[in-house]
Amino acid sequence: NAGVTQTPKFQVLKTGQSMTLQCAQDMNHEYMSWYRQDPGMGLRLIHYSVGAGITDQGEVPNGYNVSRSTTEDFPLRLLSAAPSQTSVYFCASSFGLLGSEAFFGQGTRLTVV
């Protein structure tokens, strides 16, 4: 059982470039989310999805897009990378909505120069 798989693990982008961070889970979880982690800021919710075809914004959605065409996959797109998006990104999934344990991927360390 792979759990939550994120790719890539590391990425360097130039300002203005676009890219997609991939996230896949094999636990048949309905709820998936993306967080960014910055020093002293904890984990901040970017976008989340409660099921295929349904997404919504979190605390810091600007500059990011998501889609959920299948239960398994929840990619995060950066349309035009900015240095402020340098961060560690975590994808998480959970079985339900209220009070379910979240399983995190290994993270993607993104640097925008």
Q: Give contact residues for other proteins (rule: CB under 8 A).
A: 31, 35, 40-45, 48, 50, 56, 58-59, 90, 92, 97-99, 101-107
Q: What is the closest distance, in whole angstroms, from the C-beta atom of residue 6 to other proteins in the complex?
A: 9
Of 19, 22, 17, 20, nearest in space to 2 by CA:
22
Closer to other proteins by Cβ: residue 50 or 52: 50
Closer to other proteins by Cβ: residue 7 or 106: 106
Closer to other proteins by Cβ: residue 85 or 93: 93
CB atoms near residue 33 (< 10 Å) = 24
Neighbouring residues of 99: CB distance < 8 A, sequence distance ≥ 6: none
Q: What is the closest distance, in whole angstroms, from the C-beta atom of residue 98 to other proteins in the complex?
A: 7
Q: Is the peptide bond before 8 cis (omega within 30 degrees of 0)?
A: yes
